[in-house]
Amino acid sequence: MNNLFSLIKKGILNRSIYVKVHKNRRNINLVKYLYKKGYFFSYIYRFKYIYVYLKYFENQSVIQNIHINNKKKKHINNISYKLIKKQYLYGKNDILLISKIGIINMKKALYYKIGGNILVTFTI
The CATH number that applies at residue 54 is 3.30.1370.30
Range of the domain at 87: 65-123
Q: How many domains does the chain have?
A: 2
CB 21 within 8 A of CB 7: yes
Is 73 found in the same domain as 43?
A: no
* Closest C-alpha among 37, 50, 7, 9 to residue 107: 37
DSSP conformation class of 118: E
What are 62-97's pLDDT values in tens digits? 887 777 766 555 444 567 777 777 766 666 677 888
Of 25, 41, 58, which closes a domain?
A: 58
Is 117 found in the same domain as 74?
A: yes
Is 118 found in the same domain as 70?
A: yes
Of 58, 79, 101, which closes a domain?
A: 58
Is 74 found in the same domain as 99?
A: yes
Helices (H) and strands (E) in the chain, counts: 5, 10
Higher confidence at residue 40 or residue 89? 40
Is 50 found in the same domain as 88?
A: no
pLDDT value of position 92: 67
Is 117 found in the same domain as 93?
A: yes
pTM to 2 decimal places: 0.72
